Amino acid sequence: MKIRSLRLRLMISATGAILLALTIAGFGMVALFERHVERRIGSELDTYLNQIAARTIFDADGTASLSGKLADPRFDQVYSGLYWQIADETANNYTRSRSLWDVKLDLPPDVPTLGVIDVHDVDGPQGTRLRAHERRLIFDTGQGEKILRLTVAIDNGVVANLSADFAAEVTLSLLLLAAFLIVAGWVQINVGLRPLSAIRRGLTAIASGKTKRLAIDGLSEIAPLVEEVNSLLDVQDDAMARARDRAADLAHGFKTPLTALLADAARLRGGGNAQIADEIERTVTRMRGHIERELTRSRLRNTLTTAAIELAPVVQGLIDTLKRTPGGEHIDFELRLEAGLTARIEHDDLNEILGNLLENAVRHARGKVRLVAARAGAGVGLDIEDDGPGIASAHLKAATDRGKRLDSSSVGAGQGSGAGLGLAIVCDVLDHYGQNLTLNRSDLGGLKASFELAG
């Protein structure tokens, strides 16, 4: 399975490299230690050979022995692992250390060069293997010359035990070093990736509207990425501005012809052609509604989430405007807004939502409209209610379905097609922000429109 975390990839790579390097180093250190021990022991064995040669004496019958004990007490301990032996080639007899007891070292049958130290692996007491240093010398006994093979041997297990002890200590030390290096690697990786976290936070701030551009100073490796992101944001802002301008031009371009059509309809009505005038007015109304809805969709497609805006001024501004309209001057507006409520939404989009819902409520209310806004989890919940006839229960769900349109038979008396169009626009705007519009019966008797916005 492919690992998607860059941090985890780097950590696995670093850990693998650390463990591989320390493993190789561990084997290398143990091998070097073994070679050092072998050289050191070989040097000691050669020293013992020289001491034996210097202390070799002969009795009256020519038997070789040592004039004194060697310094290492292991030569006097039975099967201690350190041994010496003197082999008389002339008389074919042996003198050996107490540590060998009754065991004779079986040396290879070759004849070493006089004075040269040979090294052999031979069998020792109790099935052990020994590293033997042998030297062939000629001694003058006073009664003639004798050729002696002087041998000093040590148990190979001594080297193995020393190497094993060293390997255990090195392994523990390397494990501690590996743990430290892995932790240090983790810290280094996190420090190295910190600029990417700063970029992520910057992008989050841009998405939430807290800032417009990335502003990360310092590392030359990150600067090109920051510049490219900011350039992309500049291009997007330009595209959004052009889209808004085109939408405004389109709305202005349709406004004059539609106004002219309404004037023509009025003249037809004055001339007694009321039926044709009504048809033209309905057509113009539908065209205006479709244009308004498509312009809203176009604006939404080119809108990024901006900074949180305060709800109270927007709501109060809309209420003040509606109170000056013919339909709203006799309406009792009841506002229940918690203090300090904010929502992350474009100012124009919030006006679009609240304006359509409040206009719809004013249009159908008998005398009262209520707006309630309160915190809902991490966001804000809003309810707009009226005491009008409302929408038939059977048509509540259909009123917010995409592509559905309410007519006068689906709503209470006095409601026209504008209600369905306004709700459709509200649904489009809320859908852009990932929210839904919910319609229910109000305890005032009319319609209750509810929705939430991110706080």
Pick the CATH number of 308-454 from 3.40.50.1580, 3.30.565.10, 3.40.50.12780, 3.90.78.10: 3.30.565.10
Q: Which pLDDT band, with edges at 50, 70 and 90, does 35 fall under?
A: very high
Does pLDDT of 213 surpass 60? yes
pLDDT tens digits along 220-263:
778 888 888 888 888 887 887 787 777 777 767 776 787 788 78
**Which pLDDT belongs to residue 403?**
44
Q: Which pLDDT band, with edges at 50, 70 and 90, does 414 fall under?
A: very low
Q: Which pLDDT band, with edges at 50, 70 and 90, does 419 fall under?
A: low
**Which pLDDT belongs to residue 301?**
56
What gap in Å lies between CA 77 and CA 281, rounded to an integer? 125
Q: Which two tokens stand for residue 354?
A: 């609240």
User: Can you give the pTM of this predicted structure?
Assistant: 0.55
Q: Which two tokens stand for residue 41?
A: 């022991």
**Cβ(85)–Cβ(114) under 8 Å?**
no
Task: Name the fold adopted by 57-157.
Answer: Beta-Lactamase (3.30.450)
CA-nearest of 346, 354, 317 to 454 is: 346
Does pLDDT of 198 surpass 50? yes
Q: What is the percent of the chain with per-residue pLDDT over 90, rounded to a whole number?
A: 36
**Which pLDDT belongs to residue 416?**
44
**Which pLDDT belongs to residue 77?**
92
What gap in Å lies between CA 362 and CA 172, rounded to an integer? 81
* Range with lowest mean pLDDT among 24-33, 155-164, 299-308: 299-308
What gap in Å lies between CA 109 and CA 105, rounded to an integer? 12
**Which pLDDT belongs to residue 411?**
45
The whole-number average pLDDT for the span 401-420 is: 46
pLDDT tens digits along 267-301:
888 887 888 888 887 787 777 766 766 666 666 65
More confident of the two residues 236 and 380: 380
pLDDT tens digits along 123-134:
999 889 999 999
Does pLDDT of 36 surpass 50? yes
**Which pLDDT belongs to residue 417?**
45
What gap in Å lies between CA 42 and CA 215, rounded to an integer? 70
What gap in Å lies between CA 349 and CA 133, rounded to an integer? 98
Does pLDDT of 314 surpass 60? yes
- Listed by start position, the domains of the chain span 57-157, 209-304, 308-454
**Cβ(419)–Cβ(360) under 8 Å?**
yes
pLDDT tens digits along 335-376:
999 988 998 888 888 998 999 999 999 999 999 999 999 998
Does pLDDT of 216 surpass 80? no
**Which pLDDT belongs to residue 184?**
95
**Which pLDDT belongs to residue 413?**
38
